[in-house]
Structure 1
Amino acid sequence: MNCKNCSSSFNGKFCNNCGQPADTHQINLHFIWHDIQHGLFHFDKGVFYSLKELYTRPGHTIREFIEGRRVKHFKPVSMIILLATIYGLLYHHYNINIFISEAEGTKELTPSINHWIANHYSWYTLATIPLYTLGTYICFKSQKYNYFEYLVLNTFKASQRLMLHIITFPILLYFNDKASLKTLIYIYYIVDLFLIYWTNFQFFYKLNFWQVLLRSICSHLIMIVSLLIILTSILLITS
């Protein structure tokens, strides 16, 4: 048959030249619904499968993805953008104030920072992934993965944390503008660290417990120092 996209002759279910399916289907309600399922949510083998794996066997499934078992997974960058956008919309719509400082015994909010992150949460989340990756690459370089493979690892880990924040968003909303919000943010931070370390223990299964723990701590410190340097530089330039 002839391909409807490039006019090449071929046999089988897909064009050998451009890869378009032989059966293109009529555009109707069924076509639109399947496109939504496959392209946005990928119900059959995508975002929900990846998220399930990230909460049952995170390190193992990420390692398998890097090594080539990718058909069932949603693409890591697409997933982090999707989740960060959802969280950013929730954060902005409900005006969550997670940046709290104490001054003269009263709580003060920093609306400018709060507003910026609420409206650019996808970019903020994506911007920190290379910093996490830098620390992972330096501390786990002996494991023979390259920087971009570690970038995939940390992108999946960021999606894992974001999904937790989305699921527990009603809790954050309940404590919004309350004095106990600061304690809740610390709890979130501890849980995020647990998820990072749990994933690392599975991903770097060839190393013993203490090797993974110490390198994970070192990796996290590198990320924090790098972030502080960048933020300080931005403040100095803009001040």
Structure 2
Amino acid sequence: MNTTCKNCHQTYTGHYCNNCGQPAETHKINIHYLWHDIQHGLLHFDKGIAYTAKQLFTRPGHSIREFIEGKRVRHFKPISLVMVLATAYIALIHILDIEMFVKTKEAVDTNPNINIEKLGDWLSSHFAWITLVFIPLHTIGTAICFRKQGYNFIEYLVLNTYKASQKLYISILLIPLFYYYSGTTTILTITKIVMLIDFILYFWTNEQFFNQLSKTKTFFLTLLTHLIFWFIFFTIIVIGVFSFGGI
């Protein structure tokens, strides 16, 4: 049966217009339509965020490799996912007024050039952007350490973007603990635990993604990747502090 597209007026057969992709069946705009649009278009609860979260915590490396190779319909797009999760995380931090840094006189007096409270507030308010900046820094390390595995820089960027999403999922799940221990020394311990979990997930993802390598080689290359990341990160911090005369 021929159908005339309501969008571009192309005549076609099937469920979608072969010229512009418009669905043959359009629904009346009502409450059901709005709810359907929220689920499918904005948050993709039915398949995007939920499906990607399941994949990232059951078979992360395999699913990311499949995404890079073209299996992308059910996945939430990597950059969009990071931004949605980072926005949700920072919104919860602000709404619950969680202090991610210990505010003590000793912390302020440690270095007169660095205001810890101001630094903490700045890091919290720019968390989404910081998360995005960290991704290419990790990607530089990944591209150096795994340069012989046949992927380009952008593909490694996608890999590390999904890894960042893993960390954000964990951070959001730990919001109740952050809230309970807000502004105390215990929150630093929780942060260190998150970093350890992050490294374990990072290695697990690499072990699946680079499944042609031995686990031992993947572990040491993953460790080297982190060392390169921290070297670049602290180099940027030092340059920033000296360039702008402190925070």
Q: For residue 136 of structure 1, what is the amino acid of its counterpart? A: T
1:91 aligns to 2:72 (yes or no): no
What does 1:92-107 align with in structure 2 at a 5 Å threshold? Answer: 92-100=94-102, 104=106
Query: More displaced, 72-81 or 112-121?
Result: 112-121
Query: More displaced, 218-227 or 91-100?
Result: 91-100
Residue equivalent to 1:52: 54
1:211 aligns to 2:217 (yes or no): yes
What does 1:8-157 align with in structure 2 at a 5 Å threshold? Answer: 8-100=10-102, 104=106, 110-157=116-163
Query: More displaced, 136-145 or 222-231?
Result: 222-231
Which string of whole-angstrom CA distances, capped at 9 and with x for unpartnered residues, describes residues 16-70 of structure 1? 2211112222211111110000012212321101101111111111111111221
**CA shift in 2, pair 1:83/1:105, >3 Å:** closer
Counterpart of 1:10 in 2: which secondary structure?
Answer: strand
Q: For residue 27 of structure 2, what is the amino acid of its counterpart? A: H
What does 1:177-188 align with in structure 2 at a 5 Å threshold? Answer: 177-188=183-194
- Compute the RMSD of aligned alpha carbons: 2.0
1:173 aligns to 2:206 (yes or no): no
Contact kept in structure 2, 1:101 and 1:107, CA below 8 Å = no
Contact kept in structure 1, 2:81 and 2:165, CA below 8 Å = yes
Contact kept in structure 2, 1:88 and 1:122, CA below 8 Å = yes
Give the TM-score of the pair, scaled to structure 1. Answer: 0.92
Contact kept in structure 2, 1:89 and 1:118, CA below 8 Å = no
Q: For residue 152 of structure 1, what is the amino acid of its counterpart? A: V
Match of 1:201 among 202, 207, 210: 207
Query: More displaced, 65-74 or 76-85?
Result: 65-74
Which string of whole-angstrom CA distances, capped at 9 and with x for unpartnered residues, describes residues 148-197 of structure 1? 11111111111111101101110111111222222222122111111111
User: 1:94 offset after TM fit, Å?
Assistant: 2.6
List 4+ stretches of structure 1 deviating above 6 A. 105-109
Which string of whole-angstrom CA distances, capped at 9 and with x for unpartnered residues, describes residues 112-143 of structure 1? 22222222211111111011111101100111
Q: For residue 161 of structure 1, what is the amino acid of its counterpart? A: K
Paired residues, number: 239
For the residues of structure 1 that align with 2:236 and 2:185, how far apart are their CA atoms?
Answer: 30
For the residues of structure 2 that align with 1:148 and 1:105, how far apart are their CA atoms?
Answer: 40
Residue equivalent to 2:243: 237
Contact kept in structure 1, 2:107 and 2:116, CA below 8 Å = no
Q: For residue 59 of structure 2, what is the amino acid of its counterpart? A: R
User: 1:93 offset after TM fit, Å?
Assistant: 2.2
Give the TM-score of the pair, scaled to structure 2. Answer: 0.89
* Percent identity of paired positions between Structure 1 and Structure 2: 46
